[in-house]
Amino acid sequence: MLIDASRATLLVIDVQEKLIGAVSDPAGTLARTRWLLAATAELGLPTVISEQYPKGLGPTVASLLEAAPAATVVEKTHFSCVGGECLPASLLERQQVIVCGMETHVCVLQTVLELLERGQQVFVVEDACDSRTAQSKAAGLQRMRDAGAQIVTREMVLFELMRHSTHEKFRVISKTFLVGEQP
C-alpha cells in the first residue's frame, strides 16, 4: 500500500530539548526530522507533534516547530500518544499515520502498536527515529514491522505523497529537499 496524501497525517513523537541529547545521533535525528517536517509542510500534510511531560523534559526543539508552524502540539504523560488520549480527532479520523520521533523502542513503539490496534495503517520513518542505543532502535523497528507497520524512509514518504513528477509541488520539493547532501 502506498501513502495517500488525502488519507495521511504526520505524527512526530517527543523530539524535545531535554531528550534529544540522550539519543544515539542527536544532530542527525534533529536534521532529518526537521527535513521531514519542512518537506511535508510544503506539501500541506496535516501534522501533530507530541511532547512527553514538557514541564520536566522541555518543549519540542524550536527548529522543528519553525519547520512546521501549522503543526498541532499536544502534551502527554503516557508513553503512547494513543494511551495518553492526546491525539486530535483530525489525526484519528485519517486512515494512515506517518510516525517518527523518539525513543523508537518506547514512545514510538507503544504509539504505533496502539494505532495498529485501532486499525490504522502506520508508516514508521526509520531515518527520522532514534533511541539511546542502535540496538534499542533496531529492536523497536523490528517489533513494529512484525506487528504490521510499514518501515519507510523520508524520501519514500515524499515520493508517495506526490506520486508523480507533474505534482504541483514536485519542482519545489526536488530543488529544496532532494539536491545536494542530505541530512
Please name the residues in contact with 6: beta carbons below 8 A apart, sequence gap of 6 or more: none
* Catalytic choice (81, 86, 100, 107): 107
d(CA 182, CA 173): 13
d(CA 39, CA 162): 11
* Catalytic choice (14, 86, 127, 137): 14
Q: How many CA atoms lie within 13 A of 95 on its CB side?
A: 7
Partnered with residue 100 across adjacent β-strands are 12
Q: Is 175 a catalytic residue?
A: no
Please name the residues in contact with 7: beta carbons below 8 A apart, sequence gap of 6 or more: 94, 95, 96
CA dihedral defined by 147, 153, 157, 159, rounded to 10 degrees? Answer: -130
Q: Is 107 a catalytic residue?
A: yes
Q: Is 100 a catalytic residue?
A: no
Q: What is the set of active-site residues?
A: 14, 76, 107
